[in-house]
Structure formats: structure tokens, C-alpha cells
Amino acid sequence: MWELSKRRFLQAAGLAIAGRILPRRLLARPPEPRSGSRKVIIVTFGGGVRYSETFAPEGLRNIPRLKELRAQGFFYRTCANAGVLSHFNSTASILTGDWQRVDDFGFERPAGATIFEYYRKQTGSKATDAWAICTNKSFSPIGAASLRDWGVPYGAQVVLPKQLLIEAVDEVVKKNRDGGAANRENVLRQLEEILNEGYEGLGWTIFKAGRDLDQTVRATLTRSLVEYINGPEMPSSGDELTFFIAREVMREFAPPLMLVNFWDMDVAHWGAYSLYLQAITRTDRLVGMLWEEILANPNYKDKTTLLVLPELGRDGDVNTANGFLNHRSGDASCRNMWLLALGAGVPGGESERPVAHIDVCATAAAVLGVKTAAIAGRPMREIAGA
């Protein structure tokens, strides 16, 4: 029986993943800083998080980095989600500027054009200029709508880091003829220990995007990824792997537009409040690390507007002691979120004026200098100058 140590498995999986991410033609030299171009990175506290565990006085202990960054940016005390309280619809509403009501589990694309499509079509930018790095494995269609004259040709490159690891396990096992079903299950158990898939489980159906990553988008992460997963920062969760891949994409491509979807907080569905709080603190740390990368990367420093917000909340505890488990009640704890903006063009301060999830698309478009269709969202004037 072929036995695969944790380190050997990680190394093999890293090598398998590397062939799917970045183009070999960019290996020879890193991208040179692009002068004068504005950039937008949208970060979602995916999975759902309540005010009470974040910016409420009793929740600040869970978000030390965001508490610190709040003083450096502009904070909207109310960013409302008035749409369907599901993950895909909430994030699609952020990206399109209209409240979405499509299939919850990744069967359908957004019903309106995304900020990725507006940007790429109007600027003529290439496919590697817009990315969605998503821990949530149902988000493969999130990068583009299915509308005529829009859609996939103008959409984002969508990367599902956890799914890449699952596929890598299959490749590693297939290449070893002495493996077998029992060994494959052993490898999957090791993977499950490394990347907590959330309450759906490993068997949840994955739907591929309308197109895979471009065929030229391959093998430049081999060395860095293998060193990472074998080093002191080896990922212990899906969000940590998502952060790493987002950082590598920034370093290799310097895309002007990105969505980074963190999602470990959806572990709350398991009913373990402590795991939910740990996920919040982890995401807080990763957002801080992403901000540090922006400040240290010459392609992003002084050019980037970072928008951080929860995709939705979670149920309140009014009628149950465990409201944090779900996010479908429609109460204020589910709908009343916050938004923190940092970086280029962002003044310091706070506002009691309510904004909404759908305003993010309009704001990003204004920052990037592109126009949207007649969407419901409006630019946030403090950031976009509208």
C-alpha cells in the first residue's frame, strides 16, 4: 500500500495546483509597476457575520486588525443587504449593483452584468486583469453574467482554491498505480484536516465555470506554493489558502480589479460558536495581511481602494439561543451590515448615512472610471466623489 505522508501529500498537491493558476510566459520576469492606474479590491466576510461579533463594542475583541484599520479609513455604520439572504445572491448583488434572485447553489450566473464585465469591456483589458478568488466553492459562475454582449468574454478569472486541492488529490492518487480506494480516502481525510470544507462536506457538487482558467494561465506557482504549504505559514483553512493565492495573483498580474471571498465563518452552521469566532478572527487577520500586501506592493500602493464588507449577517438570538447558526430570518441581524473603505481616494471618517450592498458596484465603477448600466446601486459619494 502506498503511504502518503502529510508533507509529501502537500508537496504533490502543490505541484498539481501550480499548473492551473498562472501563465508560464510570466515566469521570466515580474510585472513592472503600472503608473497612474486605479485599482479596486473587494473583500467579503463571506459566510455571514453579525455586528455583535464584529464592530459592536462587545465584538471588537474578535477583529483587532479591522478595529485598527477603521481609524485609517472611512467606515459606514450601516451597509444594508435588502436582497435574498443567500451567499451567491448576496455576493452577486455586490458585484452587479442590483439585487439578485438566481439559483443559490451555483447553477446560474448573475442576472446582470458584473463590475468585471463593465471594466473589461470598456477598457479593453485582458482576462488576467479581473479575478475572483473564492473560498466558497459554489461561486464558479460568479465572474460573469449570461447576457448577450456581456458574459464570459469580459468576465473575471474565477479561482476556487479549495476545489483545486481536491482535484490535486485525484491527480496525485491517479499517478500512483499502487494507490486505490482506501488510499484515496486516506488522502481525502488528510486534505479535510488541512482545509476545513465547511458544513457541506467534501461530496458537495462542484459546478465548473463556463470556461476553465485560460490555457495559458498555468504553472508559475510551483516553487512558491510548495514552499508555502511546507513552510511555517502552511494553510490550516480554506481562507488561508485563498489569501495566499490572492497575494500571488497580485504579485504576478497586478490586476486592477479583484474580489477576494473569505468564507470560513460559515462553519457557524455546525453550531460551534467558538469555531465561528475563530473564523472571524482569522478573516480579520487575513484582511490585515492583504492590506499590508497592498502597502508593500508597488503595483498597488497609493493606487488601490479596498472595500471590506460582510456578504450577509446571521440570525439574531431573539427567538433562539443559537441564532448565529443560520442567516435566513430576515431580521436586522441578517440585513444590517457595515462597510470599511481604505486606501486611495478614501478620506478618514465615519458616516451614519446608510449605504447598501448594491452601491459597491457603482462605487467601484466610479473609482475605476467606467460606466454601468441603469443599475439600482449608487456611488458612495465619500469614496467615489459622486
Q: Rounded to an integer, what distance in angstroms lies between the CA atom of residue 299 and that of residue 290?
A: 14
Distant-in-sequence, close-in-space partners of 282: CB < 8 Å, separation ≥ 6: 237, 239, 240, 264
Residue 127 lies in a domain: yes
Task: Spell out, as residue ranges, where the chain has pLDDT lower than 50.
Answer: 1-2, 23-36, 196-197, 199-211, 215-224
Residue 272 lies in a domain: yes
Partners of 261 in the β-ladder: 44, 134
Distant-in-sequence, close-in-space partners of 69: CB < 8 Å, separation ≥ 6: 287, 288, 291, 340, 342
Report the greatest alpha carbon distance in the chain. Answer: 65
> The CATH number of the domain where 59 resides is what?
3.40.720.10
Residue 273 lies in a domain: yes
Residue 49 lies in a domain: yes
Q: Rounded to an integer, what distance in angstroms lies between the CA atom of residue 309 and that of residue 303?
A: 20
- pTM as predicted: 0.87
Number of folded domains that form the chain: 1
Residue range 325-336, pLDDT digits in tens: 999 889 999 999
Q: Rounded to an integer, what distance in angstroms lies between the CA atom of residue 277 and that of residue 268?
A: 9
Residue 286 lies in a domain: yes
Distant-in-sequence, close-in-space partners of 203: CB < 8 Å, separation ≥ 6: none
Please say whether the beta carbons of 71 and 341 come within 8 A.
no
Residue 248 lies in a domain: yes
Q: Rounded to an integer, what distance in angstroms lies between the CA atom of residue 60 and that of residue 256?
A: 31
CA distance readout (Å), 309 to 115, 128, 225, 370: 16, 24, 28, 22
**Which pLDDT score, from 0 to 100, does residue 232 have?**
66
**Which pLDDT score, from 0 to 100, does residue 154 have?**
96
**Which pLDDT score, from 0 to 100, does residue 171 have?**
57
Helix 359-368 to helix 87-96 angle, to the nearest 10 degrees? 40
Q: Which three cell numbers stand for residue 85?
A: 439572504
Residue 373 lies in a domain: yes
The full DSSP string for 104-161 is TTSSS--SS--HHHHHHHHHT--GGGEEEEESSTT-TTTT----TTSSGGGS-EEE-H
Partners of 44 in the β-ladder: 261, 309
**Which pLDDT score, from 0 to 100, does residue 230 have?**
57
Q: Which range of residues forms the domain containing residue 130?
A: 39-160+237-384
Residue 257 lies in a domain: yes
Distant-in-sequence, close-in-space partners of 30: CB < 8 Å, separation ≥ 6: 251, 252
